[in-house]
Copies of this chain bind each other. A is one copy, B any other.
Amino acid sequence: MIKKFQFLCKPEVIYGANSISSLPSIVKSLNCKNLLIVVDKTFSKTIFFSDILKILQKENIKFFIFDKIEVEPDTEIGNECGKFAKKNKCDVVCGIGGGSVLDTAKAASILITNDGYIEDYQGLNKVPKPGVPKIMIPTTAGTGSEVTYTAVFIRKDLKRKGGINSPYLYPDYAILDPVLTIPLPPDVTASTGLDAFCHAIESYISRKANFLTEIISLSSMRLIWNNIYKVYIEGEDIKARENMLYGSFLGGIGLANAGVTAVHSMSYPLGGRYGIPHGVGNAMLLPYVLDSDIENDKSFTIKSKFANIIDYVMPQYKDKSEDFKSHLLIKEIKKLNEKLNIPRLRNFNIQFETFNQLAEEALQVQVPIENNPYPITKEHIIQIYKNAY
């Protein structure tokens, strides 16, 4: 079969413990007059954040802080951030936080240079002009937003999430400093880490995967698999935090280059309608989507892909059969969810009767649906929601 790809990994990456110290020199190299800092509310109260401000002040860098993001952002808060940036004539944006914060910072970058609102740009390639330079500093090992060209916002009016997807959203710099992920509490560590794991496994099994993204996705899975429980029980394990951050970045590359699959489509409406955090939604659904993939993939390539994952992530089972390994993978993911205390769908106030509606909305998140290894239908999706209940 003839396939093609063009690989993208745009940001200049600065990484390692204390790599945050390079922030002032990056900002200065951009001849920045007014820096917009979009920061996670919780993180903004840590000593880590005040230390960042200190090193910026020391270099006389003028900045404006937008710290209003608490949960997953809706378009309203995104537009407010853009307005704030414009008012203060910000010419470089810096996001310090999880995916919500980084996405908002990315959106602010293009709202500064374009006249419209987030609602105008949700979709694919709808942003007319490039934004100002973007520096992304993740404080979760999760979304991989520091390497993707997407920014997701809830449309409150439509009870739906929608992504701005534009090459103008690619970050210019990513600082991967594991020290900054230390204050992350265990539950968020777990759910964001599983979100990253979803990016890795979904991009690996995506129809758009290629021989380059596949090895990146596999490496991401291995890093996360071997470290997520460590950071869950011991948040100060800096080596494990580092591995998680690199794993998340690699998962983001997988996501940006090969896309995700039905898990993400099905998780979107859970966020849009019930406010279920993105990582939690993905984690809850993942094993049941994989179950469905095995059951319905008529080309039988999925089992061999699942077996590859086992060879790579749990090499102790290398000599087992493909069938054994593919089912083992799902079993192990379910076990991991339990160990990390990920809730089930039934723990949220969701009625069985809404599954039909949710499935319709999931199908509208079209690109990941198209990437799914087998052609997934509304009936499949309803069944998966039921299984994940």
| B contact residues around A22 at 8 Å (CB) | 2, 4
Determine whether A7 belongs to the interface, using a CB cutoff of 8 Å to chain B: yes
List B contacts of A216 (CB < 8 A). Answer: 212, 215-216
Given that A216-B212, A246-B211, A250-B212 are contacting pairs, would A19 and B6 also be in contact in the complex, using a CB cutoff of 8 Å? no
Q: Is A238 an interface residue (CB 8 A)?
A: no
For A15, A17, A246, which residue has the most chain B Cβ atoms within 10 angstroms? A15
Which one of B18, B210, B215 contacts A215 once the chains associate, using CB atoms below 8 Å? B215
Task: Assess whether B1 is in contact with A7, with CB atoms less than 8 Å apart.
Answer: no
Copy tally for this chain in the complex stands at 2
Q: Which residue of chain B is the closest to A316 with respect to CB atoms?
A: B318
A1 to B176 CA separation, bound complex (whole angstroms): 12
Most buried by B among A5, A7, A19: A7
Q: Which of A6, A250, A315 has the most CB of B within 10 A?
A: A6
Could you list 14 further interchain pairs (A-B, Cβ under 8 angstroms) beyond the known A6-B12, A315-B315? A2-B14, A2-B15, A2-B16, A2-B18, A3-B14, A3-B15, A4-B12, A4-B13, A5-B13, A7-B13, A13-B212, A211-B250, A212-B250, A215-B250
Which residues from chain A sit less than 8 Å from chain B, CB to CB?
1-7, 9, 11-19, 21-22, 210-212, 215-216, 219, 246, 250, 253, 315, 318
A-B pairs with beta carbons under 8 Å apart, 8 shown: A2-B15, A2-B21, A3-B15, A4-B22, A5-B12, A7-B9, A13-B210, A211-B250
